[in-house]
Structures are given as structure tokens and as C-alpha cells.
Amino acid sequence: MAQHRWTAERIADQTGRTALITGANTGVGFHTAESLARRGATVVLACRDAERAEQAAARIRGTAPRSRVVTLPLDLAALSSVRAAADQLHTMCSELDLLINNAGVMWAPPGRTRDGFETHLGINHLGHFAFTGLVLDLLRDTPGARIVTVTSPAHRSAQLDFDDLRFTRRYRPAAAYARSKLANLLHAHELQRRLVASGSALLSVAAHPGAARTELNRSMPALFRGPSWGLWRPFTHTAQHGALPILRAATDPEARGGEYYAPSGPGEFSGHPVVRSSSSGSHDTGAQRTLWEASEQLTGVPYDFGPSDE
């Protein structure tokens, strides 16, 4: 039973380590950053809204006075911002221990990113794909470094249409979100395979926060937000609790590359973090490679795995 009761108190001392969390100004991203800062990590809040990021940094400093918390402007909906953020990060640090790709949108109406991608795929996957590739050198040779990709059980209902990645046909918000979350897992698994092939000890791990009560549900139907949200409360948990699977994926010394951390309860809605199995579709090596190649082409960001690169 002990493995079902993993809590933030089990996070080891993070002094001397640097962690970057995207979308860390609110929700599970904020609580992930706060917990790591309390354990001594230098935390970088990479967020689209600079003012809200600074407010979040101040809140963390208030609960962890000795922590070092800095902010980094990052708009995942614009590849120009992704590149600028990566350049700025290289001036801020020479090594990165943790990259937690957390930011995202859910059930958004039809829309396009600055570069013309469908909003969910563009922000949730392609923006993170590009940023990860651009800062890979900071992680690649850092002992004990990890990349944590935040996904969702919605991936189980998804199937990518590689002939319509921009989702121009019969757009449905829930389907677009699910596709982006499947893309997250395909990326995480393929990244781990390529890291192993290159001889790197860097780990790629996935996690999801369960049904956490956060701002992410603001675009969902009224039944799942506002006063009606109370009907679902027994099946959900707090944002602070939702951060636990991400924190375990990031810090558990027994974590292995390619693992998927999720809440232990029915439907992965709530509970303490455990290792679970992602869908068979997320382990489709053909889909992993196809998405990787498409992502490199769409973003213009190839990954450099070092001397042993394939």
C-alpha cells in the first residue's frame, strides 16, 4: 500500500538543481513549482503572462523564503517566443535538471496559433516539442536530469490523423484536446527511445494530474464548470494534490524512462500517484516516428542528441 500513498514529503532535497515548469503561474504547475522550491530547487516559471508569473513567483517566495524563483516569458502559441525563451534560458543557466512541460489548453474553440497550427496541438504539443529540442543541450549531459511531459487520460480516446494535423475537418474541441494529449505521449515515448539509442542517461517520463480543480476547465461545457462543477467534486481533487504525479515523475529515484504516472483511483481521476500503463496507441512506434518527423518539419526544430545521434 505504501506506493499508493506517495506525497510531496517524499521529495528529496533539490538543492543545487534547476527546474523549469511551463505554465507555472497557476494550477498544478504552480504547486509543482512551489513544492520543488520548498525542497531547495532553483525554479524557473516559464509563462505567457509575465505579470501573473511574477505574482506567482512572489507567492512562492512567501512560502519558501530561501528559494530562488525566476520567471521566463514563454508563449507556446508562437514559435518566435519559444525560440526567444530558449535563447534567454541559455543565458540564465548552463545546466537544467528538470524540464516539466505542463502548460496547456483544453476544449478551446476553433482557433490557430501564431504559426497557423490548430490551438491544442500547437500549444500542448508543438510548442513543447520545439522548446524541448532547443534546450536539450542543457539537459542532455546533466546527471540525473529528466523531462516530464504532462498528459491526460483523454489520450485513450484519441487517434491522430496525420493527413489533417491542423484539424481542418469536423473540428470538435474534446477530440482536438485528446489528440494533443496523445501527441504528448507519443513524443515522450519516442524521446525516451532516441535518448537510449544515443547513449544519454537523460530520462523522458510522462504524468497526468487527474481531475484536478484548476482554471483549465474554463472552456468546458457549463456542466463541468461554475456552479455545476460541485456535482463532480467527489470525483476530483485539489490542484495541489494533482501536482503529485508530476512531482513523483520528476523526483522519484526509482522512476524509469518511458513510465507514465497517474492517480491511483478509478478512471485515474483522483488518488495518490502510481505507475500506470498508457494506451496501446501511445506505444505505436510507427505513429511515434511519424509524429516526430512531422513535428520537426512543422516547427523547424531538429533534436541534437550528441555524438551518438542516429
Percent of the chain with pLDDT strictly greater than 90:
82
Beta-strand ranges (E) seen in the chain are 18-22, 42-47, 68-73, 98-101, 146-150, 203-207, 212-213, 237-238, 260-263, 273-276
Is the sign of the CA dihedral 51, 119, 109, 235 positive or negative? negative
Q: What is the mean pLDDT of residues 253-261?
A: 97
CA distances from 271 to 26, 120, 197, 254 (A): 21, 27, 35, 20
Domain-located, residue 9? no
Note whether residue 1 is domain-resident: no
Residue 120 lies in a domain: yes
* pLDDT for 282 beyond 80: yes
Q: In this structure, is residue 210 part of a structural domain?
A: yes
- The boundaries of the domain holding residue 237 are 15-299
How many domains are there within the chain?
A: 1
Q: What whole-number percentage of the chain has pLDDT above 70?
A: 89
Mean pLDDT (whole number) for 127-142: 97
Length of the chain: 310
Looking at residues 257-270, what average pLDDT do you find?
88
pLDDT of residue 189: 98
CATH number of the domain to which 68 belongs: 3.40.50.720
Element (H, E) at 116: none
Q: What is the mean pLDDT of the chain?
A: 91
| pLDDT tens digits, one per residue of 56-113 | 999 999 999 999 999 999 999 999 999 999 999 999 999 999 999 999 999 999 999 9
Whether residue 306 lies inside any domain: the answer is no
pLDDT of residue 239: 84
- Give domain status of residue 161, yes or no: yes
Using pLDDT thresholds of 50, 70 and 90, give the confidence band for residue 306: confident
Spatial contact of 75 and 50, defined as CB atoms under 8 Å apart: no
* pLDDT at residue 221, as a whole number: 53
**Residue 175 pLDDT exceeds 50:** yes
Determine the Cα–Cα distance for residues 51 and 74; give it in Å rounded to an integer: 12
Catalytic residues: 177
pLDDT at 111: 96
Query: What integer pLDDT is reported at residue 269 of this predicted model?
Result: 80
The pLDDT score that the predictor gives to residue 215 is 57
Query: 240 versus 85: which is more confidently predicted?
Result: 85
Q: Is residue 164 part of a domain?
A: yes
Q: Which strands sit side by side in the sheet containing 203-207, from one edge to the other?
A: 68-73, 42-47, 18-22, 98-101, 146-150, 203-207, 260-263, 273-276
Query: Which pLDDT score is estimated for 268?
Result: 79
- What does the pLDDT read at residue 217? 53
Backbone angles phi, psi at 100, to 5 degrees: -115, 105
pLDDT class for 227, splitting at 50, 70, 90? very low
The tens digit of pLDDT for each residue in 8-66 reads 999 999 999 999 999 999 999 999 999 999 999 999 999 999 999 999 999 999 999 99
Residue 250 φ/ψ, nearest 5 degrees: -80, -30
Is 7 a domain residue? no
- Mean per-residue pLDDT for 251-259? 97
Stretch (H or E) spanning 288: helix 285-299
The model's pTM is: 0.92
